């Protein structure tokens, strides 16, 4: 029986591409028709992704983006930042829907893009709202109507979901200080001097402290959601685990906001979200969400000082799934009018 929709993945040889392909091969309503890449051309997908051995006869194809998108209902882009924006116009001309996993269409201000991505934006005219920011917990209705979606970054997803209920309640303002710890798969397939296993295993190190490219993305999103005068100080830390991100954010709310208020705000905001869990008897942890599209969030209210209560907000995700390909599939499902949970409900493994 023929599936209802056809999809292509462009940039499918990396870790994010592997997760996109895996989920699409399982999809009951979307057929993965082709995978384009500049690597492994003509070779079976399993040559880059061993877990797909015997699962598909598809091969990596050396196609132009327009060729790869021809006749497709949706195209999922796993291309690098700055490359994606160069290719998007020719894909748009084919009429296909687009889910872009790069950072090229998340920011609205071209000057901010240049500041954090180190180059002028290749398609400034598309920063006018053409792409919807693909965070379903904030923009579900817009994603359902969208033709083009910019999927959020991994750190951004983690931190935003840990703070979003406070922003929507009008309680998030002023300085937010965050430390985010990330697994090695977020650095990509090709090892570098600081991501290679011998220097990553058994090690913790920070990088881009207070200057990470997800800072303006997070700030923009939370301000849109209702935060006021927000300033984010963010320090990312690389950790010796393959998958996962754990973020701790320190915020200050009015002393009149009680611990019970905070608990209620989070419980109510996420009550009907299919992929957000607020654990009742423990705090979020990476191993509980690794390998899945789920996110865990919780807040721990603390002491009051000078009329403000300190609150520590915790959030954990799998960087490749909810922080990448899985969230992209979730948005794709919404765009196509499908159940957003399709292929994403598996809970991962434990431990």
Q: What is the mean pLDDT of residues 95-99?
A: 98
Domains in the chain, CATH or no CATH each? 5-152+324-335 (3.40.50.720), 155-317 (3.30.360.10)
* pLDDT at 197 exceeding the cut of 90: no
What mean pLDDT comes out for the span 138-151? 98
Mapped onto helix, strand or coil, the DSSP state of residue 52 is helix
**Cα-based distances in Å from 40 to 62, 189, 192:** 9, 13, 20
pLDDT at 187: 85
Residue 156 has pLDDT above 80, yes or no: yes
Interhelix angle 325-335/15-25, rounded to 10 degrees, is: 40
> For residue 81, what pLDDT is reported?
94
Q: How many CA atoms within 13 Å lie on the side-chain side of 174? A: 9
Q: What angle do CA 52, 53, 55 make, to 5 degrees?
A: 65
Please confirm, yes or no, whether 154 is among the known catalytic residues: yes
Name the band, by pLDDT with cuts 50, 70 and 90, for residue 71.
very high
Annotated catalytic residue, options 32, 36, 154, 278: 154
Q: 200-249: per-residue pLDDT in tens?
A: 999 999 999 999 999 999 999 999 999 999 999 999 999 999 999 999 99
Q: Which pLDDT score, from 0 to 100, does residue 31 have?
A: 98
Residue 165: per-residue pLDDT: 98
């Amino acid at each position: 029986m023929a599936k209802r929709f056809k999809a292509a993945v462009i940039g499918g040889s990396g870790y994010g591409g592997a997760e996109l392909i895996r989920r699409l091969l399982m999809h009951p309503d979307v057929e993965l028709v082709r995978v384009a890449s500049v690597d492994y051309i003509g070779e079976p997908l399993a040559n880059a992704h061993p877990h797909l051995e015997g699962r598909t006869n598809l091969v990596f194809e050396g196609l132009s983006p327009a060729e790869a998108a021809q006749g497709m209902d949706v195209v999922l882009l796993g291309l690098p930042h700055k490359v994606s924006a160069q290719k998007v116009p020719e894909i748009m001309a084919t009429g296909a829907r687009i889910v872009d996993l790069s950072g090229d269409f998340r920011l609205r201000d071209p000057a901010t893009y240049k500041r954090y991505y180190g180059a002028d934006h290749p398609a400034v005219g598309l920063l006018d709202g053409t792409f919807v920011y693909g965070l379903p917990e904030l923009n579900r209705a817009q994603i359902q109507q969208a033709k083009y979606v910019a999927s959020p970054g991994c750190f951004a997803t983690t931190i935003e979901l840990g703070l979003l209920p406070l922003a929507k309640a009008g309680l998030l303002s002023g300085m937010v200080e965050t430390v985010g710890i990330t697994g090695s798969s977020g650095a990509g397939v090709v090892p570098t001097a600081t991501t290679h296993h011998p220097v990553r295993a058994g090690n913790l190190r920070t990088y881009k402290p207070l200057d990470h490219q997800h800072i303006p993305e997070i700030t923009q999103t939370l301000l849109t959601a209702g935060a006021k005068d927000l300033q984010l100080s963010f320090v990312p830390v690389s950790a010796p685990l393959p998958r996962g991100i754990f973020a701790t954010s320190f915020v200050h709310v009015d002393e009149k906001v009680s611990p019970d208020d905070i608990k209620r705000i989070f419980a109510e905001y996420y009550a009907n979200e299919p992929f957000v869990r607020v654990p009742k008897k423990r705090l979020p942890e990476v191993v509980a969400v690794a390998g899945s599209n789920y996110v865990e969030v919780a807040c721990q209210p603390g002491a009051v000082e000078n009329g403000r209560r300190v609150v520590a907000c915790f959030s954990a995700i799998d960087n490749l799934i909810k922080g990448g390909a899985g969230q992209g599939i979730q948005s794709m499902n919404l765009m196509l009018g499908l159940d957003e949970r399709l292929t994403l409900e598996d809970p991962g493994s434990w431990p």
